[in-house]
Every structure is written in C-alpha cells, then in structure tokens.
Amino acid sequence: MDRRTILRLFGSGTLAAQLPLAPLAKAQAAASAALPKKGVMLMNRIAPSVSELYAANPDGSDERKLLADSAYEYNGSLSSNGQWLLFTSERRGDGQSDIFRARPDGTGIAPLVDSDSMEDAADLSPDGRTLAFVSTRNGYRANIWLMDIYTGRQKQLTGVGDVRGKEGKPDCYFRPSWSPDGQWIAFSSDRNTEWTGHDKGQGWEHTQELGIYIIRPDGTGFRKVASKPGYCLGSPKWSPDGKRIVFYEMTVEATWGARRPNYYGKAFSQIVSVDVASGHRIEHTSGNDLKLSPQFLSNSEIGYLIKYGPNEGLAYTSDRAPCKKTFIRSPSWTRDGKSVIYEKVSFQPIRPLLKPLFSWDPEWEYRHVDVYPLMSRDGWIVFTEKQLGNSSLFVMRPDGSQKRKLFESSGHGLNEAKVRMGLAGAFQPCWSPDGEWVAFGLGYWFFERNTMTAALWRVRRDGTGAEQLTDGSIHSGFPSYSADGQELVYRVWSQREKGLRILNLDTKKIRVLTEGMDNMPGWSPDGRRIVFTRRRDDGNYDVYTIRPDGSGLFRCTDHESSDGHAVWTADGRIMWSGSQHGFRDEAALYDQTFQQYGQIYIMNADGTDKRILTDSRWEDSMPLYVPQS
C-alpha cells in the first residue's frame, strides 16, 4: 500500500497515542473490502436524517439548493476570496464526516480531507493556502488541524504541547476562524473545565463550558481572550477590521436545554463581542431567544441565528428585517454580505430501520436500528420502536424480514402525548433463554420517573399472555433474564429506595441486589455476573459488574467522564456508551439529542482491552453484534 493511501485511511497524525479503533492497524491495512465480515453491528444513532446546503439573500428570498450533487452536508461557507465553497459531507457513509470543496455554483465537488476520523468545521485562510479544520485523528478528541492546500502537509495545532488541557478533563477545540490578516485563528474550547451533568450535576448527560481563544498558525501566541465563569462562549468570528471577536454566550446549564426545543424560553443566549487587545465587552442583544452562529457583516452589523421558538430564523443587530425560517442551521454570510449559506435539517423521514452506516471496524457491517435491540438464541431480534413509532415492541429477523408487532404500548393507561414524545412506552425488552417470553418495562421514563410510575411486564413470543409482574408501587424497569430463565434482574427508583432487585418468577419473591443509584442491569450469557451503570457519590457514572448473590462488585470503567448503557456480547465482552473523548462540536448547536458526544466502546469483562468502535459527531449507542452465522 502506498503512502498516500495509508494517509488517506489513517490521517497523518501519530496513531500510537490513540485508544485503538477496533481493530485498527490490521483492519485498515486490508482496506476494508478485502476482509470477510463477521456479521452486523446494529446500533442506534440520533441525528437529523436530512441535511442539505442552501443559499439565499440575507432576507431569505431567492432561496436555492447549493450543490449540484447534494447528499448529506452541513457547515457550508464561502472562502474569503469567493473562489471556493467549503463544507462537511457524509457522502462516504452515514456518520463519516469529511471536508469537501466545490465551485460557488455547486459544481466540481471534490474532497479536501477524507480520513476515517471525524473532520468538520473547515475555514480557509484569507490567502487561500491553509485550511483550518476540526479532526478527531490522533486520539479521538476534537482538535484543530491545519493543512497546506497545495502540498497536503497537515499539522495538529491544539491538544499538543502547551495547548493541551489537564489529563482526564474535557479538552476539545472547536469552530476555528481565521483573522482577516491571516495572522491568528480564533476558536472555542472546553479545556480545563469539569465534566458536569445537567441539573446542577445530577443528570447523566453533560453540559458544556467554553471559552474563546486565539493562536497563531505556527502554534505561538496561544491565549484566552474571553471567558465567564458558569457560562459557555462559542462560535467565534472576527470583525472585518480584525479588532473584535463576536460569539454567543449562555449559561452552562443552558447548553443542555439548547439541544431540546421544549426548553424554549428557558435556554437563551446573547450575542457578545470583545476587543481582542483590551478585552472590552459589548453585549449586542437582549431577550429570551436562543441566539447562535453570530458573524460580523460589517464592523457595525452582526447577523446571527435564532434557534427554536416563534422568531426562529436569521436576525440582525441592525434595522435589517429578520428572516423567519424553521430548522435552518449554521448560517454563514458571504464576505460581501449579499448572500447567506446555511443547511436545512430535518428528522423526517426517520432514518430507516437497518440503514447502512459507515463501519469503522471493517470486520463488521454497521447498521441503524431503533432502541434496545436484543437477539434471542434462535435468531429473533426484539426492540422498542421509539424513533419510528410509539414505543411499542417489535420482533424481526436480523435482515429485517418477518417484522411484526409484539406488544402495543397504547391502551394501557399511558398518557398518549407522553408516548408520542418518547417519554412513555415499553422500554428495554429482553428474551428469556428459551425464547418463549419477552420481559420489559411499561410506563414513564427519563425525568418522568420522578413523578410517574412503571412496572415490569412480560409477553409470549407470539404476542399473547401479556401479564404485569410488579405492582407499580415502585418505579420498576430495565429487566434482564437469568441464564436459567428463573429470575429477572431490574432497576427500581423512588424517593425511599433505589438500586437493583431480583425477581423470582416462580415464587414472585424479590430480593435486594444493590441499593445505589444503579440502572440498566444485564445478566451475562453464562449467568455468572450482572453488568449495570452506577452513579457514584462524586457524580460520575461508571460501568460495574456484580455476582447475582451480591458479592464481587467490580468497577469496569474509571474515567472522570460518564460511562454507561452497558450490554453483553454473546462471547462475554461488554459494550457500552462512553464520553471520555469529549464533545465533537459545541453542544448548543445540536438538535433533539441528549448525549451527542457519546461513542460506542467494547472491553473484556475484567475491564481490559478497551477499544472505541465509532468515531462520528453524533450520538451513537445501544449496540448489538449479530454474527454472520
């Protein structure tokens, strides 16, 4: 294999420091296609199903699709010299983001950076020679890289030397922006902040604290230009005269609500600029709109995006009329101020069941599935149809054939509005070892558990014989069968008791397994251990295992970030969702997601040989290996 091919597959960064991308060197050297597949890895992805680039006048008129060959693109912008359209595209595969360029009329599409790492947020220097972009190569963390357009030489600018944060803490770098004279690059970063859950640290999903920094292209002059304790400052852009940098500013807690339209009015931000030399601040906006993606159109006018709510669309700090448009994102105004480029995103139509995804492990074919998939010993997959339906249970063959509804969540006293919102329904189904029964939790989930209830149920594989197993007096859910089929382990949640319980299906007796903030238990295939997620006293979430008799508690993960949602593979390894490699972009810029930085990992049951299995900018979780046989 020649050097160019190796660089294309691996990226030019040092690979030795990376947590292995399973199984990295051997798999990529074989160029993926030459290797026989071991099977399919089903997984769930939360991301828009449609994202296309458009251009329009600043008032929204004359809107037109930008690319002649549109696929799945975002973060488009026109270079300062007006010669090139830069954008991120996933045309190589769902979840695999690369940097592309095209002519301003949308023709001549060609890749600029196309490694198997995540690449995004490109900005070309004013002289048109050096590309700044974000990449997860060399360690799976989002860092800013530079590439010489003419020679192809690439250099890591952040996450190295003095431009590196504390070990184990958030340390990622986003949204690079060249100064007009090409002497500086501004960016946002969460370096040296803490891993903090929403709701003052109580939540599983993280909030984000960002500051604004600048650095010279040669790596010197690194310094912070703006920060505010307890706040997130993001998406910096320079004024035309190079004297000021504009950014959005919101509370750290608001970065959680900024991802969810139902938080409108509670999660808001302001547009602020700072004098680079003196640090003098100007707050340009007020009110309760969620304002993002600011950009100087002149030294005295700023355009920005309003996300969610009745004013959603483009707005300006001048007397220019706003443009109300829903679900446009990442606006970028051309240098002459006559046009604006943005993407239009949608979650409709829903990402199809079993849609092929980009496979970072060439031995496995990645495909999309709805939530909580689990396969029986005789080859049937059960799952909750949450994204495609109303959180009812379905079964199917691994190829999607013979799909049928197993249990209808409606008609059991649940609030139908909560069901439609994905906050209620039949969650985490599990097969009995003989394949005759499916147990599950039926009720209200997520934060609804604090005031509503849920109970354990089971139903026969033909959809008959549905019966309630717990009385609902204590919120109960997330069951898993023992290897002999005689018991179920599950989670309880109430003000007076929490933890894991084991129900004997014959005697109906319940015994206490744990009393901590524990969730999502799963019995190992051999019946010897139970895996689960625990919220520790320090607020961190980790993966643990324990014997069914309550002995042998073992902590499998110990990173300061959150790990959880663990499941067993058929051969006794553990797959889980983790966040140790941090955010891939600014949290407030995402839509309708919870844990957009989450990646899928795998390890041995004793916690050794941890490997990362995904490298996308989206929320990936709930994996299931389906072997070829």
How far does CA 376 lie from the centroid of its chain? Answer: 29
Identify which of 419, 460, 426 has the alpha carbon closest to the alpha carbon of residue 440: 426
pLDDT band per the 50, 70, 90 thresholds, residue 35 = low
CA 206 to CA 519: how far, in whole Å?
A: 18
Residues comprising the chain, all counted: 629
| Percent of the chain as helix, strand, coil, to the nearest 5 | 5, 40, 50
CA 170 to CA 166: how far, in whole Å?
A: 8
Across the range 417-424, mean pLDDT stands at 88
CA 201 to CA 230: how far, in whole Å?
A: 13
Q: Residue 415: pLDDT above 80?
A: yes
- Give exposure, 149-166, as e/b (b: 16+ Cβ within 10 Å): beeeebbbbbbeeebebe
Range of lowest pLDDT (59-68, 259-268, 308-317, 620-629): 259-268
Q: Find the DSSP H helices in 551-608.
A: none
CA 369 to CA 188: how far, in whole Å?
A: 34
0.85 surpassed by pTM: yes
Residue partners of 307: CB distance under 8 A and separation at least 6: 258, 290, 291, 292, 329
- State the DSSP code for 290: E
Q: Over the stretch 108-145, which tens digit does the pLDDT of each residue have?
A: 999 999 999 999 999 999 999 999 999 999 999 999 99
The encoded tokens of residue 509 equal 């007796």
Q: Over the stretch 500-544, which tens digit does the pLDDT of each residue have?
A: 999 999 999 999 999 999 999 999 999 999 999 999 988 889 999
The encoded tokens of residue 175 equal 């949204």
Q: Residue 20: pLDDT above 70?
A: no
* In the chain, domain spans: 369-523
pLDDT band per the 50, 70, 90 thresholds, residue 420 = confident
Per the prediction, the chain carries an average pLDDT of 93
Q: Residue 485: pLDDT above 90?
A: yes
Q: Above pLDDT 70, what percent of the chain?
A: 94
Q: Residue 595: pLDDT above 70?
A: yes
DSSP character string of 208-261: ---EEEEE-TTS-S-EEEE--TTEEEEEEEE-TTSSEEEEEEEETTHHHHTT-G
Across the range 153-161, mean pLDDT stands at 97
pLDDT of 33: 55
Give kind and range of the element (H or E) at residue 4: helix 3-10
pLDDT of 43: 98
Is 2.120.10.30 the CATH number for 369-523?
A: yes
CA 416 to CA 157: how far, in whole Å?
A: 51
Residue found by looking up tokens 């026989």 in the block: 36
- State the DSSP code for 194: -
CA 576 to CA 339: how far, in whole Å?
A: 44
pLDDT of 14: 30
pLDDT band per the 50, 70, 90 thresholds, residue 3 = very low
Q: Residue 176: pLDDT above 60?
A: yes
